[in-house]
Amino acid sequence: MPTIATIRPLIPGLLLSIAVTVVAIVAAGIETLIIGYALLDPLVIAIILGVIIRAIWTPPASTAPGIGFGAKQILETAIVLIGFSLALGTLIDAGLELAVGVLVCVGLTLGLGVLIGRVLGLPMKLAVLIGVGNAICGNSAIAAVAPVIRARKQDVASAIAITAVLGIGVVLCLPLLIPLLSLTDSEYGVIAGLSVYAVPQVLAATFPVSAAAGQIASLVKLTRVLLLGPVVTLFAILYREREDTASGSNLSFGKLVPWFVIGFSIAVALRSLGVVPGWFAEIAQESSRVLTAIAMAALGLSVDIRSVRETGGRAAIAVLILTGILVTTAIAVTLALDLP
């Protein structure tokens, strides 16, 4: 049980991480006031600010425990809270054909992300993070998978920053497909839901077109997000099996599946069964966003920018190629569905 003695060392680092998060949230709010929506999510701003601060100023040693706690335990708690905002009914509402289309896009993007990353000489774990981020739900997916594969902090920072920045280009360019391919609002909504990397960016790419496009895109995107739990569990099993085989130790369920994946799954189940009221789900969703932003700030504060530079260019190329493949696949799947 936490005591004052165990909590006190965490305070300096947590306060620093929270301060960075507050600045990130304010910056995102200013973006919204100026252009109507936030091109850069507070999570992305938080990690970028953290990296910049660390590059020009080394935080004192007293902040290290709190920064480490924020980057790990707070992040894991945020992942559990995300589950309370997801219901399996979303997958049913999407329909079988569309659900299959989502599975195709996610599976293809994930597999090719790892393959392209390795061909370009990226570390395996960075390639996995890039694949997961583009396949499912951007920052949240990267943040959720990172601890189970024990990714380096600099790889997490690189994957989040590059995917987010290049993802803005997708948001800005995607509407150009409407006249080019004579897309209906429904078709455009599905393409956006299948290809845009994070939920806020999906809304930014679709609601300016029409409410119908935004609603359909949100449904498709949330269907992708529902795959986060299975994907995290899959990588947890793969990496724990590899480590335990190498060490010769026995596998156990507790070692294969981290506590926060179990918590996430229970949260989704409770939400799907109707046990969790809507108001609680909204609070959990907002709390998860704030906690994830704090974790991203902590992560940025613990990253050496020089190590990110080593793979930044190749990671950007991998994300560009993968984004092109994902958008092309989304178009093909959508046109095959013959939507109204």
Answer for the pair 330, 195: CB distance below 8 angstroms, yes or no: yes
* Residue entry with tokens 């209906």: 184
Residue 32 has a pLDDT of 87
- Burial of 248-273, coded b for 16+ CB within 10 Å and e otherwise, reads eeeeeeeebbbebbebbbebbebbbe
Cα 319 to Cα 317: distance, rounded to the nearest angstrom: 5
The residues, ordered by sequence, that sit 6+ positions from 169 with a Cβ below 8 Å of its Cβ are: none
Give residue-wise pLDDT tens across range 122-161.
999 999 999 999 998 777 789 889 988 989 888 888 888 8
190 pLDDT above the threshold of 60 = yes
Structure confidence at residue 340 (pLDDT)? 64
Please choose, from the candidates 172, 162, 112, 161, the residue with its C-alpha nearest in 3D space to the C-alpha of residue 319: 162
Look at residue 253 in the predicted model and tell me its pLDDT. Answer: 52
Q: Between 201 and 234, whose confidence is greater?
A: 234
Q: CB under 8 Å, gap of 24 or more: what pairs does 243-248 form?
A: none
User: What is the overall mean pLDDT for the chain?
Assistant: 83
Cβ count within 10 A of residue 38: 21
Residue 270 has pLDDT above 70, yes or no: yes
According to the model, what pLDDT value does residue 311 have?
66
